[in-house]
Structure 1
Amino acid sequence: MSAPKKGDLSSTEKELFQVITAGDVQEASRLLGCKDVRVNCLDEYGMTPLMHAAYKGKADMCKLLLQHGADVNCNEHEHGYTALMFAGLSGKTDITWMMLDAGAETDVVNSVGRTAAQMAAFVGQHDCVTVINNFFSRARLDYYTKPQGLEKEPKLPPKLAGPLHKVIMSTSLNPVKLVLLVKENPLLAEVEALDKCRRVMELICEKCVKQQDMNEVLAMKMHFISCVLGKCASFLKEREDKLDGLIKCLLKGRESDGFPVFQEKFVRECIRKFPYCNATLLQQLVRSIAPVEIGNDPTAISVLTQAITGQVGFMDSEFCTTCGEKGAEKRCSICKMVIYCDQTCQKMHWFTHKKVCKKLQEQREKQEAESAKLRENKYGQRNDGVKQKEQQQHSSRVLTPTHTCRFPSQ
């Protein structure tokens, strides 16, 4: 069958595009089995069936097309868009993930020089930006599970690849969340295992910086994870309470307002230790964080998160006070000032929050009272203005008749 050309479609291929729009997976499967249907055929704009399915948010259709050999990196669109770009524009994180898992390249740019992550960010699809910026294929990690060159043993034992990949793919960079991921897997929560994982993270970081297409964002993330794993290893060596002790240190707030000083200093130190001093991202982070006094906004973790994942601090979404996960909805029932994922995170944080909970409650009540008083004053001023206007209108009606009285003739 000839190579696809823009707009050169058989009648069955035209039908396939219509079926994709309708979302009929069963009919699409039947059509893909026809001899005159090319899975990578192009419409007049250079869009493949996969691009259409991704843009329209049809996850099942995307899965079917990929199973039939759809080219996830086809770049024949008239403006250079790829399936990953269309997935990002659709706002569907599951489809974005599917494209990445199928081998979609993240560094390809369209005709205006934007990558898929930049396109998603441009239209406000920040969840898709997060998925793209945090993606690291399992195949790239598996490289380190095999002996290379003269090595007799791999740098990373195969049994650690799965647990480590889960840590790498975490969209929350909050150190508490990363420590919890280590703690929940017995294979990782050992000093020797952590040391090997930390070394692999450092190697990936170095590779990201020294490769032809430098990826400073991924390098910084790998470096940060390496620092967290190193801190976990040191606590396992030195502390009897082990990782529980590290979590408490990261969560412990100061007496005045509950701000986690240890966590802030730890994140700042991790950034400062980034081994490539000339990196543009490092300089941007330092400029953003250095002038900020500890305890004020923005925090180091919020600046780092925005730089790496694409999440922005002014979005409507709330983040868990304990682990930093996005979409937390449960508030402390007393102060209503801190938010958690669930009861587990609330219990984990209570040891330090209870010291400032009542103070935060008083602050909230004071703020609410002041807001209510302000609204009342504005409402009163508005009513006074309305009354004054009504009086003026009434005076105007009295002084300036608007009609002529007619009397019956005598």
Structure 2
Amino acid sequence: MSAPKKGALTDTEKELLQVIAAGNVQEASRLLGCKDVRVNCLDEYGMTPLMHAAYKGKADMCKLLLQHGADVNCNEHEHGYTALMFAGLSGKTEITRMMLDAGAETDVVNSVGRTAAQMAAFVGQHDCVTVINNFFSRKRLDYYTKPQGLEKEPKLPPKLAGPLHKIIMTTNLNPVKMVMLIKENPLLLDVEALEKCHKVMELICEKCVKQQDMNEVLAMKMHYISCVLQKCGSFLKDQQDKLEGLIKSLLKGRDSDGFPVFQEKFLRECIRKFPYCDATLLQQLVRSIAPVEMGNDPTALSVLTQAITGQVGFMDAEFCTTCGEKGAEKRCSICKMVIYCNQDCQKLHWFTHKKVCKKLQEQRQKHESDSAKRLEKQAKELEEKKASEETSNAMEDLSIEQREVTSMSDTLIKTESAEPIPINAD
């Protein structure tokens, strides 16, 4: 079936685009029921109604258009933009995820060779970049919930697909957060269930590496998740304390500065165990963290997060010291040096933070004092410089006046000593 002609819109289709811009979902639903309205019609630039809705950040409108059969991968735009690209440009993670769930292709490039993730990154929409780079469709996971070939049972019980997919889709790679997600779901608090999930993650990791279009980033993420699942399974088998002990181990800080040494060792070990030694990403990760002493930047978590999510550093956001969630705002009232997303995370971290809280407070006070002294010194130097400049300017003005007086005096002397001008007598 040939694509609609650009700009050949009916009056009702033109009205639909206006309604989409206004965000009137009810009216759009009525218009989509009209016979002369094509859900994939193209305006003069090759934009479909779905592209318009995605770019304008209208989530409900996007949902309605997709329900009516909108083509999420239409590529008739004059510059090769897709609905996913427009979603990324809008900065709306909900719409970006909606396009991906609807089957949007992530590797399509526009007229200048940029993918949707690259376009979103170019305009600073890093959250959308993270969603795109971490997307894994539920359909791909559901494949393992059905017996394949001669199998009598599936590799993954269907009831575990939902909880496991939630972990796969998380963009917070902090191991504490991942253990929390496992701990929250009773279906995963079982050694056998965790072992099955672990093996499925290994299979997906292998598939990502061996497929025609190798995806090292996704493979590394699946491997990392498998390591976390395996660690939880081993811990439950030995301790049977509902993972509280594992969380405390991951949070326990070094006495000197509170740095979570066990967490750093665990993450480094996860990276080291990546089974495909020739992978370029693995070599980059190893080069980044191998020469760094524990406690210095970059940490294994920051390097792994940057590699998998595409986010560089911490940007302008604050992250919870306990679980790594973005947007944390609650600071320790004593030292004011650590931040949490809620009181539960603060309580969970207190057992180790209390050892260094006073020391951090003293460091902060010393830093503030030194900063105040430095600012005071700078202000004093600036004041002295200003005074010096004013004195210099005054001296220069005086010198100019002296030169003018001298010049006038010389002129007067010359005038007085000159011969008198003869007067012609009649």
Do they fold alike, i.e. is TM over 0.5?
A: yes
Q: Secondary structure at the match of 2:186?
A: coil
Q: Secondary structure at the match of 1:319?
A: coil
Matches within 5 A, 1:9-408: 9-396=9-396
More moved, 159-168 vs 233-242 = 233-242
Q: Using the TM superposition, give the Cα deviation of residue 395 of structure 1 relative to its aligned residue in structure 2, in angstroms.
A: 4.4
How far apart in 1 are the matches of 2:314 and 2:354? 27
Amino acid at match of 1:109: V
How far apart in 2 are the matches of 1:82 and 1:248? 45
* Identical amino acids, percent of aligned pairs: 83
More moved, 114-123 vs 217-226 = 114-123
More moved, 392-401 vs 200-209 = 392-401
More moved, 330-339 vs 239-248 = 239-248
Q: Secondary structure at the match of 1:296?
A: coil
Q: Secondary structure at the match of 1:286?
A: helix
Count of residues in correspondence between the two structures: 404
How far apart in 1 are the matches of 2:338 and 2:12? 57
The Cα offsets for residues 13-67 of structure 1, whole Å up to 9 and x where unpaired, read as 2222222222222332222122111110111221111111111111121112111
Q: Secondary structure at the match of 2:258?
A: coil
Amino acid at match of 1:202: E
Unaligned runs of at least 5 residues, structure 2: 405-426
Q: Is the 8 A contact 2:7 2:42 kept in 1?
A: yes
How far apart in 1 are the matches of 2:389 and 2:295? 49
Counterpart of 1:408? none
Q: Using the TM superposition, give the Cα deviation of residue 398 of structure 1 relative to its aligned residue in structure 2, in angstroms.
A: 5.4
More moved, 235-244 vs 254-263 = 235-244
Q: Secondary structure at the match of 1:258?
A: coil
Unaligned runs of at least 5 residues, structure 1: 404-410
Aligned-residue CA RMSD (Å): 1.9
The Cα offsets for residues 113-137 of structure 1, whole Å up to 9 and x where unpaired, read as 2221111111111000111112212
Q: Using the TM superposition, give the Cα deviation of residue 400 of structure 1 relative to its aligned residue in structure 2, in angstroms.
A: 5.0
How far apart in 2 are the matches of 1:314 and 1:219? 24
More moved, 107-116 vs 217-226 = 107-116
The Cα offsets for residues 253-292 of structure 1, whole Å up to 9 and x where unpaired, read as 1111011111101101101111111111111111111111
The Cα offsets for residues 127-148 of structure 1, whole Å up to 9 and x where unpaired, read as 0011111221212111111111
How has the CA–CA distance of structure 1 residues 386 and 106 changed in structure 2, closer, same or farther, with 3 Å as cutoff?
same
Amino acid at match of 2:347: K
Q: Secondary structure at the match of 2:106?
A: coil
Amino acid at match of 2:60: D
Counterpart of 1:407? none
The Cα offsets for residues 64-106 of structure 1, whole Å up to 9 and x where unpaired, read as 2111110011111122211011100111111111111111111
Q: Using the TM superposition, give the Cα deviation of residue 2 of structure 1 relative to its aligned residue in structure 2, in angstroms.
A: 7.2
Per the normalisation by structure 1, the TM-score is 0.94
How far apart in 2 are the matches of 1:3 and 1:96? 24
Per the normalisation by structure 2, the TM-score is 0.91
How far apart in 1 are the matches of 2:35 and 2:242? 62
More moved, 122-131 vs 25-34 = 25-34
How has the CA–CA distance of structure 1 residues 112 and 333 changed in structure 2, closer, same or farther, with 3 Å as cutoff?
same
How far apart in 2 are the matches of 1:360 and 1:2? 67
Amino acid at match of 1:78: E
